[in-house]
Structure 1
Amino acid sequence: MNNHAITLLEAVNLALARALEDDSDVVLMGEDIGANGGVFRATDGLQARFGERRVIDTPLAETMIAGLSVGLSTQGIRTVAEIQFMGFIFPALEHLIAHAARMRNRTRGRLSCPMVLRAPFGGGIHAPEHHSESTEALLAHIPGLRVVIPSSPVRAYGLLLAAIRCDDPVIFLEPKRIYRASKTLVEDDGNALPLDTCFTLREGRDITLISWGAMIQETLAAAHRLEQEDDILCEVIDVATLNPIDHATLIASVKKTGRCVIIHEAPHHGGLGAEISATLCEQVLTSLQAPPRRVTGDDTIMPYYRNEQLYLPDVDDIIMAVKETMEYSG
């Protein structure tokens, strides 16, 4: 077993290699993932190592990629398909919503659909239109689809292995803004992390900060500054699986702290932050010392690179929301 400091992108590659090595029924497919190693090089070297029958270059046809993945997975092939950017996922929705998500129910358990659809998502890399979307709420609204988002190399490795081994379809969204942001020690031991579970990254007493994906970085940075400058101890929770959400962990934390701020990059209206806020109000209203707050992207299309930093929530935005929540007096 190797233990190296690697990036989130390298952790994805490591998990894919481990899955291919451990299970001969695992197959990768996608546009330019083979000889080219993918648009971000997430699959670099895998075709040379495992061959063209297991790491397959497809035509530029997202509908075909999704449909083929559904068909293969119902026959026992664990397909891991890549959509180059989340903004290109929409042609695949017919197969994901009408077939992959319903297969187990439709066949009364006779067939399952153990497929993973990987897609880089989110802004912050100066990309053109259709390359910076954060539409995870759209996918998380579909019963039967798991939606998983890693926020670190360790969680990328463990959660991707869990997704590949899952007997139901998983949408695995990779926050490309932090693909190469930092390195963490990751042990290539083949151990998966649990799906459907939040991860408490930092214990706190005063307020709960809830986030996922790339925004975990700003959330942790805000928590550190709030402790150093204002003696506010924030509990930080990485949701990680957005469908189904581990509400029990969130409820327990907010019961303890009495306050929460939810941070996500996606637009404010209809985002997963609204769902989490509603659940907390339903379940722990009498424990709340202030209304839940949301720090989000704007209700607009992600702007081009000159203005994308005006759209993305930052550390100061989170700190302001926390202080206003702490000062709330009813």
Structure 2
Amino acid sequence: MARAINAGLRRALERDPKVVLMGEDIGPLGGVFRVTDGLQKDFGPQRVVDTPLAESGIVGTAIGLAMAGYRPVCEIQFDGFIFPAYDQITAQLAKLTYRSQGDLSMPVVIRVPFGGGIGAVEHHSESPEALFAHTPGLRVVSPSTAGDAFTMIQQAIASPDPVLFFEPKARYWDKGEVDLDADVDLSESALTTGLHAAHTLREGSDVTTVGYGPTVKTLLKAADVAAQEGHSLEVIDLRSISPLDFDAVAASVERTGRLVVVHEAPVFLGAGAEIAARITERCFYSLQAPVLRVGGFHTPYPANTHEEEYLPNLDRVLDAVDRVLAY
């Protein structure tokens, strides 16, 4: 996935001279995860900019560049470092198009390596996506595969709106087939509907399971184990948290009658809560069990020695599946 994002960034830099990358250590080092490896060497320090360690300054500068006609792509080195830029993102970036009655476009992408599972220290394993999905004016997406990462990063950069691009850092080394020569659809419909469309990765008849980013791989494993026990799980990769593809989820639940939503972020007021509420409203007469959510606990992210107990692992997902099937 890391190489796929690198390739997508490279294509965007080649396609549009107004695309500029910004972030801490993204130049000669190539970022702490090497996602931008080689890009400064090929495109120069004016387009791949090593910034000071100041997230608010990075995003504030990106806003100014967007006003001047550029397409900045900011890297937040780790998820927990985004909070110094929270005011710039939610009070300025998200609102400037609305505030200007459409006169100002804000084509800014903020790349955020997020989630746990890498044994990191405090502030390196957060999942703050719901905070930004709650803010009108921001698009929030998260790929789960290398192929989607390659396509979605290019579509995010081409979007006229600000996009929070959450990259599941525990999946950076997961491999998948990517056609690097393929033309990515950058039409208006692709940048609106396509970028935010959920994908059904596995069809099933008993329970709909929904996730995004790092949890999709766990759901696919759960579907394999459940099949051995005679249960058929449908697996939906949301790909987008704002806007959410409720139509895809509702169509699946109307067939299965059961829904389990999984994310690493705390369950309390997370994206799963919105999905559960909306699907309960839309599919009330189809549901055969309450919508269940599996995710992080309502505590700060724990020390790495305890993160396996915190994260929504295979056992916790299968337990939720057993519970909805018991109704």
Which bracket does the TM-score occupy, shorter chain normalised?
over 0.9
Provide structure 1 residue ranges, at least 5 long, that are not aligned to the other structure.
Answer: 1-7
Partner of 2:220: 220
Task: Report whether the alignment pairs 1:273 with 2:272.
Answer: yes
Partner of 1:111: 104
SS at match of 1:99: helix
Instruction: Tell me the TM-score normalised to structure 2 length.
Output: 0.96
SS at match of 1:43: coil
Deviations 1:70-127 (A, max 9, x none): 1111221010010101101011111111111111111111111000000101111111
Partner of 2:282: 283
Separation of aligned partners in 1, 2:164 and 2:263: 18
Partner of 2:138: 145
SS at match of 1:11: helix
The 5 A counterparts of 1:232-271 are: 232-271=231-270
Give 1:185's match in structure 2, choosing from 177, 183, 191: 177
Separation of aligned partners in 2, 1:236 and 1:76: 40
Q: Structure 1 residue runs of 4+, over 2 Å off?
A: none
SS at match of 1:171: strand
Partner of 1:313: 312
Percent identity (aligned): 49
Once the 2 structures are TM-superposed, how far is the Cα of residue 35 of structure 1 from its aligned partner? 1.2
Separation of aligned partners in 1, 2:253 and 2:4: 32
Give yes or no for contact 1:31–1:38 (8 Å, CA) kept in 2. yes
Letter in 1 for 2:267: H
Partner of 1:197: 197
**What RMSD in Å do the two structures reach over aligned CA positions?**
0.9
Give yes or no for contact 1:207–1:259 (8 Å, CA) kept in 2. yes
SS at match of 1:214: helix
Provide structure 2 residue ranges, at least 5 long, that are not aligned to the other structure.
Answer: none
Separation of aligned partners in 1, 2:78 and 2:195: 23
Task: Report whether the alignment pairs 1:34 with 2:33.
Answer: no
Once the 2 structures are TM-superposed, how far is the Cα of residue 190 of structure 1 from its aligned partner? 3.7
Letter in 2 for 1:133: E
Give yes or no for contact 1:209–1:261 (8 Å, CA) kept in 2. yes
Give 1:20's match in structure 2, choosing from 9, 13, 24: 13
Once the 2 structures are TM-superposed, how far is the Cα of residue 261 of structure 1 from its aligned partner? 0.4
Separation of aligned partners in 1, 2:53 and 2:317: 39
Letter in 2 for 1:280: I
SS at match of 2:305: coil
The 5 A counterparts of 1:67-78 are: 67-78=60-71
Give yes or no for contact 1:269–1:299 (8 Å, CA) kept in 2. yes
Letter in 2 for 1:200: T
Partner of 1:5: none
Give yes or no for contact 1:18–1:190 (8 Å, CA) kept in 2. no
Once the 2 structures are TM-superposed, how far is the Cα of residue 248 of structure 1 from its aligned partner? 0.8
Once the 2 structures are TM-superposed, how far is the Cα of residue 33 of structure 1 from its aligned partner? 0.3
Give yes or no for contact 1:154–1:185 (8 Å, CA) kept in 2. yes
Separation of aligned partners in 1, 2:314 and 2:88: 38
Give 2:122's match in structure 1, choosing from 126, 129, 141: 129
Separation of aligned partners in 1, 2:44 and 2:133: 34
SS at match of 2:284: helix
Separation of aligned partners in 1, 2:92 and 2:304: 36
Instruction: Tell me the TM-score normalised to structure 1 length.
Output: 0.95
Separation of aligned partners in 2, 1:75 and 1:200: 39
SS at match of 2:151: helix
Give 1:159's match in structure 2, choosing from 136, 144, 152: 152
Letter in 2 for 1:161: Q
SS at match of 2:195: coil
Separation of aligned partners in 2, 1:154 and 1:61: 31
Give 2:57's match in structure 1, choosing from 48, 51, 64: 64
Separation of aligned partners in 1, 2:69 and 2:196: 23
Deviations 1:197-238 (A, max 9, x none): 1111111111100001111111100001111x2221111101
SS at match of 1:295: strand
Partner of 1:3: none
Deviations 1:29-74 (A, max 9, x none): 1011011111111100000011111101111010100001111112
SS at match of 1:223: helix
Separation of aligned partners in 2, 1:74 and 1:11: 29
Once the 2 structures are TM-superposed, how far is the Cα of residue 172 of structure 1 from its aligned partner? 0.4
SS at match of 2:213: coil
